[in-house]
């Protein structure tokens, strides 16, 4: 395997100019093609397509048409001294809605308002507030485009307007994700470049990893744009792809450049340094990318479109990041050559010799951790276990306005509407009943109405068609959906009658249950695949299993901290969010990404240890050698990812803030307590067992100076 990568490195050196030109052209084409990616992203896929609620919703929609009452809620408030009953206001409202039904007939299906119906249920607590329900004609992502086309046309002169409902909330979430992506690209990239300057001490060395990160992002946009022709790619996936791929691409570039500078400091020629860098660090990059791809691929077991669209985009981006890092980057290094430290600050830019690295801080830290391994390992393990404890209080929820900023207009409007109109819900429960006669329908409704937690009795939504009836009722408390849905599914249904509990609350409940049901399978895939790949990389089953156990501790501690912060609410005022359940899709992505990143750093650390052991070093020396040569670069890599994810931690969206804070917590743990202290102490305790393989003994060369 090493020979293959060495051969590739030699080829890249010889074909360096052609590789750079061809790559730049292809990346530019992909980037231009992906300029309109945001317009092609889907807002669909949040629900479990195999669930009862989805089946019931599809049946009702195919029979009666899509439920549109909650699409857009225009909440109108009359200024002090006026009322919504003012004849002038009434005339303006009726004229506006009549014109909209004509001018926007391709977008608007129906409008029900207080001024058309004079129903008191459409009026708030007093005569100064009323609302209109606007149903949109289209389905899927087109519905959001229809909303964007009419949102600026709903104002009534003399009244204040607020927009609530499904589409305004989804639109606010989508806009927030796009802002997060732009923030990462505009703010994080320059900050990373500055950080790399202090890592390498030179402009050129700092610029190259950032260039690879930029090329990865640009090329990813075009490839994700191409994917939208074949599958729905959710907007959430686009933000996750930017977060993961930008950080990984820069990290991979950092590892390659670091190894190149190390080889140049040894006195190698440029060609030798390029070849060795690709054969060693490049090989590790490919194994690292393979592990992360497998972890992301585990999300494909879920029928949720939003979870499938994350690996669709992220896997392509990880392949790009690794591919560019072992092709374009070494080609650039071949051209830069001895000028890699040019235009730098001499205090940092001078490449260290092996002797200086062996006498450095990271080498001394590894020796210290191995001197009393039990006293180092036991307290760290206890700290990690203590951090895991809050995870027992983890709670889940579906997509809602609570994941927007407390001051977001759509969230404020939705919460005000729910407060003013407690009997009306934009996301009601729906009972889809098939094959019931009038008496049976009445009996089912009677039982359903006895379930606590409803805003009122179930009412018939449409006249029966083809033996299908739909009853609807709202939830008093959205967070109580689990109990209500469960009890509704336990009522007695006559023989020959089928009942589906559907509607948004049931869809979200089933999605969460589907997530929990498949979580053991996801964990099994992550563990087994990672063990096999790391065994292939290291040739030691013990090292592979140890890496998984350590990564699991890191992941568990991170999830415990997220529960303590986002569910229990510690630091809510500082971070600017409302405590509450964590969104189900976000948790699965967090598990997958953090587990992948944890094993990613383990691969880079272990690769240098195995390298030393293969050359004849004993176990303590192999541990010291590996940490001495990767401690600084892993810390730098973690710092870079923290900067990138920090841009997302500034998000107004709780779901992105949660993902970012989770990654930052995991990175801090990984780069400090775990990789630099826990790993060397545990490996010292394991001794020569570290290298055990059930198939063959680890081959070693005669001992030599590393």
Q: If DSSP states are collapsed to H, E and C, what string results for 610-661?
A: HHHHHCCCCHHHHHHHHHHHHHHHHHHHHHHHHHHHHHHHCCCCHHHHHHHH
As separate numbers, helices (DSSP H) first and strands (DSSP E) second, the chain gives: 29, 10
- Would you tell me the crossing angle of helices 283-297 and 305-325 to the nearest 10 degrees? 170
Q: Are 637 and 663 in contact (CB under 8 A)?
A: no
304-329 residues labelled b (16+ CB within 10 A) or e (exposed): bbbbbbbbbbbbbbbbbbbbbbbbbb
Q: Are 504 and 484 in contact (CB under 8 A)?
A: no
Distance of CA 460 to CAs 442, 465, 466, 473, 486, Å? Answer: 11, 12, 15, 9, 21
% helix / strand / coil in the chain, to the nearest 5? Answer: 70, 10, 25
Give pLDDT, residue 123.
66
The token pair that represents 695 in the structure block: 């198939």
Rounded to the nearest integer, the mean pLDDT of the chain is 87
Location of structure tokens 């992948």: 596
Cα-to-chain-centroid distance, residue 390: 22
Q: What is the CA radius of gyration of the chain?
A: 29
The SS3 assignment for 416 reads helix
The SS3 assignment for 111 reads strand
Give pLDDT, residue 440.
93
User: With a cut of 50, which residues of the chain have pLDDT below it?
Assistant: 697-706
Query: Read out DSSP for 273-287?
Result: HHHHHIIIIIHHHHH
Question: What is the spatial distance between Cα 490 and Cα 314, in angstroms, rounded to a whole number?
Answer: 41
The total number of residues shown for the chain amounts to 706
Give pLDDT, residue 405.
86
Q: Are 689 and 542 in contact (CB under 8 A)?
A: yes
Residue 151 DSSP label: G
Question: What is the spatial distance between Cα 698 and Cα 694, in angstroms, rounded to a whole number?
Answer: 10
The token pair that represents 303 in the structure block: 């029928």
Domains and CATH numbers, the chain: 2-44+171-391+510-691 (1.20.1640.10), 71-164 (3.30.70.1430), 409-502 (3.30.70.1320)
310 CB contacts (<8 Å, ≥6 apart)?
234, 236, 237, 240, 241, 296, 299, 589, 592
Q: Are 582 and 658 in contact (CB under 8 A)?
A: yes
β-strand partners of 92:
none
Nearest to 3 by CA among 285, 288, 283: 283
Question: What is the spatial distance between Cα 393 and Cα 704, in angstroms, rounded to a whole number?
Answer: 53
Cα-to-chain-centroid distance, residue 643: 16
Q: Are 251 and 216 in contact (CB under 8 A)?
A: no
The SS3 assignment for 130 reads strand
Query: Read out DSSP for 176-200?
Result: HHHHHHHHIIIIIHHHHHHHHHHHH
Q: How many CB atoms lie within 10 A of CB 354?
A: 15
Q: Are 473 and 446 in contact (CB under 8 A)?
A: no
Backbone phi, psi, residue 50, to 5°: -95, 5
Question: What is the spatial distance between Cα 642 and Cα 292, in angstroms, rounded to a whole number?
Answer: 18
Nearest to 205 by CA among 323, 325, 324, 333: 333
Nearest to 508 by CA among 485, 490, 491: 485
pTM, two decimal places: 0.82
Query: Read out DSSP for 550-563?
Result: HHHHHHHHHHHHHI
Nearest to 421 by CA among 476, 368, 467, 471: 476
- Would you tell me the crossing angle of helices 679-686 and 373-388 to the nearest 10 degrees? 130
Q: Are 645 and 190 in contact (CB under 8 A)?
A: no
Give pLDDT, residue 96.
95
Question: What is the spatial distance between Cα 169 and Cα 417, in angstroms, rounded to a whole number?
Answer: 13
Q: What is the pLDDT of residues 46-87, one digit of tens each?
A: 888 899 999 999 999 889 888 888 899 999 999 887 888 888
């Amino acid at each position: 395997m090493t020979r293959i990568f060495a051969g590739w490195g030699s080829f890249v050196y010889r074909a360096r100019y052609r590789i750079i030109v061809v790559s730049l052209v292809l990346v530019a084409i992909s980037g231009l093609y992906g300029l309109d990616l945001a317009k092609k992203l889907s807002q669909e896929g949040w629900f479990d397509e195999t669930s009862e609620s989805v089946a019931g919703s599809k049946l009702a929609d195919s029979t009666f048409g899509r439920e549109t009452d909650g699409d857009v809620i225009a909440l109108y408030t009359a200024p002090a001294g006026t009322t919504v009953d003012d004849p002038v206001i009434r005339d303006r409202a009726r004229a506006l809605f009549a014109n909209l039904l004509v001018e926007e007939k391709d977008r608007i299906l129906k409008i029900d308002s207080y001024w058309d119906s004079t129903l008191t249920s459409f009026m708030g607590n007093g005569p100064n507030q009323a609302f209109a329900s606007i149903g949109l004609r289209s389905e899927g992502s087109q519905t959001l485009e229809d909303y964007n086309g009419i949102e600026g046309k709903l104002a009534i002169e003399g009244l204040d307007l607020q927009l609530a409902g499904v589409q305004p909330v989804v639109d606010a979430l989508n806009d927030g994700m796009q802002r997060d992506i732009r923030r990462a690209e505009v703010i994080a990239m320059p900050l990373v470049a500055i950080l790399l300057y202090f890592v390498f001490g030179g402009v050129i060395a700092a610029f190259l990893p950032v260039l690879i990160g930029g090329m990865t992002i640009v090329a990813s946009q075009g490839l994700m744009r191409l994917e939208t022709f074949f599958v729905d790619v959710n907007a959430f996936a686009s933000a996750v792809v930017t977060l993961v791929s930008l950080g990984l691409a820069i990290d991979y570039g950092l590892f390659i450049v670091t190894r190149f500078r190390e080889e140049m400091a040894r006195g190698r020629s440029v060609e030798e340094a390029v070849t060795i860098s690709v054969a060693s660090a490049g090989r590790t990059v490919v194994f690292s990318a393979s592990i992360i791809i497998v972890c992301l691929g585990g999300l494909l077991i879920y029928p949720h479109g939003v979870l499938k669209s994350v690996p669709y985009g992220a896997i392509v981006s990880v392949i790009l990041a690794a591919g560019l890092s072992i092709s374009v980057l070494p080609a650039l290094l071949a051209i830069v050559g001895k000028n890699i430290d040019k235009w730098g600050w001499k205090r940092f830019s001078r490449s260290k010799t092996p002797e200086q690295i062996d006498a450095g801080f990271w080498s001394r830290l590894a020796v210290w951790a191995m001197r009393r391994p039990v006293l180092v390992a036991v307290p760290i393990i206890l700290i990690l276990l203590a951090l895991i404890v809050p995870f027992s209080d983890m709670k889940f929820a579906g997509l809602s306005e609570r994941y927007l900023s407390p001051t977001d207009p759509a969230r404020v409007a939705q919460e005000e509407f729910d407060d003013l109109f407690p009997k009306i819900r934009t996301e009601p429960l729906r009972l889809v009943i098939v094959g019931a006669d009038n008496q049976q329908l009445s009996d089912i409704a009677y039982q359903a109405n006895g379930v606590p937690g409803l805003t009122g009795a179930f009412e018939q939504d449409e006249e029966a068609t083809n033996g299908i009836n739909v009853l609807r009722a709202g939830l008093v408390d959205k967070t109580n959906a689990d109990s209500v849905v469960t009890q509704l599914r336990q009522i007695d249904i006559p023989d020959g009658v089928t009942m589906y509990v559907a509607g948004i609350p049931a869809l979200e409940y089933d999605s969460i249950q589907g997530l929990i049901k498949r979580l053991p399978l996801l964990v099994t895939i992550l563990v087994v695949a990672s063990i096999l790949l790391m065994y292939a990389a290291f040739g030691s089953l013990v090292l592979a299993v140890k890496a998984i156990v350590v990564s699991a501790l890191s992941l568990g501690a991170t999830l415990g901290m997220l529960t303590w912060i986002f569910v229990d609410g510690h630091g809510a005022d500082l971070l600017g969010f409302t405590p509450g359940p964590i969104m189900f899709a976000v948790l699965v992505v967090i598990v997958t990404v953090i587990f992948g990143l944890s094993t990613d750093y383990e691969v880079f650390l272990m690769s240098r240890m195995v390298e030393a052991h293969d050359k004849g070093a004993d176990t303590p020396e192999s541990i010291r050698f590996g940490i001495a040569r990767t401690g600084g670069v892993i810390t730098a890599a973690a710092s870079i990812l923290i900067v990138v994810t920090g841009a997302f931690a500034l998000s107004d969206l709780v779901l992105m803030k949660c993902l970012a804070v989770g990654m930052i917590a995991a990175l801090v743990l990984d780069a400090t307590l775990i990789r630099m202290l826990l790993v060397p102490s545990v490996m010292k305790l394991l001794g020569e067992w570290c290298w055990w393989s059930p198939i063959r003994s680890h081959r070693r060369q005669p001992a030599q100076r590393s």
